[in-house]
Amino acid sequence: MSKFKTRELLEKLDKKIESVQSSEEFQSILETFSKFHSYSYHNSLLILTQKPDASFVAGYKQWQQKFNRYVKKGENGIAILAPFSYKKRIEKASNDNEKETDSDDDNYVKKTYFKPVYVFDVSQTEGEELPEIDTSLDNKHQYLLDPILSLVKEKGVTLRFESLENGLDGYSKGGEIVINKALNSTEKAAVIIHELAHEILHSREERAVLTKEVKELEAEAVSFVVMDHYNLEIKSDQYLALYKESYDLKDSLKRISKLATSIISYCDQNLMSKKS
């Protein structure tokens, strides 16, 4: 198995981000976020970089203990970064300017570092069949809209449905979202997510710093990741085609991944409670 150092993985991550040169490559990153929403943005990208066709990953022991499957002999793991924490004593200066370590537990500071660990895709394993994981919705035109409406309310954002002209699907401003009432439920969910992303990601300060193109790209990307996770097809918005090689994607990808993950987690919990 190829062994990586943390620095090498970070360099691999940076190279992947720097290599994005088209809207299609950007969309492949968003699809990876959709598949691996429980992983951080940098680990999702590391999985994409090393095994683009990966669909479901787990650690070596997790495959055995949780799924009764075993990694095939000779398979190389996919390196990702995992956090590890430890306590370090705080050193205090004594009167003679020498440092001393206080043994009191209250005088410890928690330190976290990252080191490589390895996961394997299901295609690299054999054993019992995996239980089918169905992320599609029985009633695609309503089920996702309900938790999205609940999320908007929880965030303290006002939502209105009105007749909008000139082909406008919706807009948001200062804690208020307005959606075209002529849209179907799936379209409404997608547009609400887009506008909610603006409300959460693009505060007054950020609206001033980020360009309109970047803000629209981020909002549409969040909507795309969530809708793709639930296998809900929406029209390919022109904003995804706004991606330009000159954009500094690193911060945007962090924001996109973090918000999309939180929305998916919220919707999953809401949908599971309805099924139970």
* 178-234: pLDDT as tens digits: 999 999 888 999 999 999 999 999 977 766 778 888 898 899 999 999 999 988 877
* Domain end among 112, 132, 152: 132
Are 32 and 77 part of one and the same domain? yes
Provide the pLDDT for residue 97. Answer: 41
pLDDT score recorded for residue 118: 96
Looking at the predicted structure, is the pLDDT value of residue 240 above 90?
A: no
**Structure-model confidence comparison of residues 3 and 149, the more confident one:** 149
Helix (H, G, I), strand (E, B) or coil at 38: coil
Looking at residues 143-155, what average pLDDT do you find?
93
Residue 35 belongs to domain spanning: 1-132
Whether residue 7 is found in the same domain as residue 66: yes
The whole-angstrom separation of Cα 49 and Cα 41 is 12
Residue type, 94: S
Tell whether 246 and 124 lie within a shared domain. Answer: no
Residue 105, token pair as written in the block: 């537990």
Q: How many domains does the chain have?
A: 2
| Same-domain check for residues 157 and 182 | yes
Q: Residue 81 corresponds to which amino acid?
A: L
> Measuring CA to CA, how many Å separate 90 from each of 58, 70, 83, 105, 112?
37, 44, 21, 10, 15
User: 117-126, 156-165, 216-225, 245-254: which range is least confident on average?
Assistant: 245-254
Nearest to 36 by CA among 66, 20, 57, 16: 57
Last residue of a domain, one of 74, 103, 132: 132
Per-residue model confidence (pLDDT) at position 162: 96
Share of the chain above pLDDT 70, in %: 82
Question: Are residues 197 and 208 located together in one domain of the fold?
Answer: yes
Both 109 and 142 in a single domain? no
With beta carbons less than 8 A apart as the criterion, state whether 43 and 80 touch: yes
* pLDDT tens, position by position, 54-109: 999 999 999 999 999 999 999 999 999 998 888 877 765 544 444 444 445 667 78
Whether residues 3 and 28 share a domain: the answer is yes
Q: Per-residue pLDDT averaged across 225-245, rounded?
A: 73
Given this model, what pLDDT does residue 110 score? 82
pLDDT of 209 reads 79
Q: Are residues 181 and 50 in the same domain?
A: no
Statement to judge: residues 68 and 168 lie in one domain: no
**Domain boundary, last residue among 107, 132, 157:** 132
* Whether 120 and 147 share a structural domain: no
Question: Same structural domain for residues 254 and 143?
Answer: yes
* Same-domain pairing of 196 and 240: yes
